[in-house]
Structures are given as C-alpha cells and as structure tokens.
Amino acid sequence: MLKKGEYLIRQGNVPTHVCFLTQGIMRGVFSDVNGKEITDCLVFRCGSPAMPASDINQPAPIDVQALTECEIVRIAVPEVNRMLRVYPALSELYRQLIVESSKTHWELKIAIYQYTAMERYLWFQQAYPGLSDKISNKYIASFLNMTPVTLSRLKQELKRQGGA
C-alpha cells in the first residue's frame, strides 16, 4: 500500500521489484533544468506496470509517485529475470507491455506537439477517462504541457459549451 504523495521509486535508484498497479493513480515525474516538475506518464488501470522504464535492470530515469492511495503487486527483479528466461510466454507479455508503453508515450508526444491546448485536454479526457475528477489540475496541466490556469480556462469553456 502506498499513501498519496509517497514515492514507489526515486530517479537514479535501481528497481528491486517489478510493480503492477491494482488500485489508485500513479505518475512518472522528473524535473526540467529549472527544477519544474514534469508529469511524464499516468498509471491508473488495474494491472498496468508501475515502473520507471522498460529496462528493469537499470537506474530509474524518473520518479514514480502515488497521486492517490495505491495498491500494488510486487515481484522481485531476480525472480522476474528468472521467469523471463524460463517462460517464453512471459517474455512475449513483457514485449507486448513495452510496445504498449511506447505507443502510449508516442500518442502523448503527438498530442503535445500537434494539438491545440483544447484538443490536448479533449484527448486526455478520452484517453484517461475520469482522471480529471480524481487528480489535481496541476498534474494534468503538467502532463499536457500547459499551465494550470490554461487548463482551468479550458474546463470553464467546456462547461459553458455544455461539454464537460
């Protein structure tokens, strides 16, 4: 069990366990050159990996933080490595999880660089259903590369239009 605000892993530390979310919402986060926090990813679906990177044997490139109270399932890294060697089906599942993670990160990158602020927020509502009511605007705005003020204005505009 992780409490809201608690870190699962900190940047630079090598993971000791592979973790899967069973309940709650987590984020991957790092700081830019000015010390501003950037929310890199959000994990909210039961069974999703709550990991800082796809290479479980390397130091974490980001922090992983609980945005709500979270429950996770943990498997020790040496045991995961052993099972990946022994069970081909598990290796295929690992490959599929990496592909899905890459796809999700590319969708975010495209949204950030090719969509207007309103389009990014509408994309977020579709890709991350219900999260806008469960986590702070600060984290959503950071994730969508906009200020919390901009996000608040977008939400107000959607309410005026009857779409939020």
Segment 49-98, tens digit of pLDDT: 999 988 888 999 999 999 999 999 999 999 999 999 999 999 999 999 89
pTM (two decimals): 0.89
CA–CA separation, 111 vs 118, rounded Å?
10
CA–CA separation, 65 vs 49, rounded Å?
13
Domain boundaries in the chain? 1-87
Segment 3-15, tens digit of pLDDT: 999 999 999 999 9
Specify the fold of 1-87. Answer: Jelly Rolls (2.60.120)
* Residue 162: per-residue pLDDT: 81
Decide if pLDDT at 103 tops 80.
yes
* Residue 65: per-residue pLDDT: 97
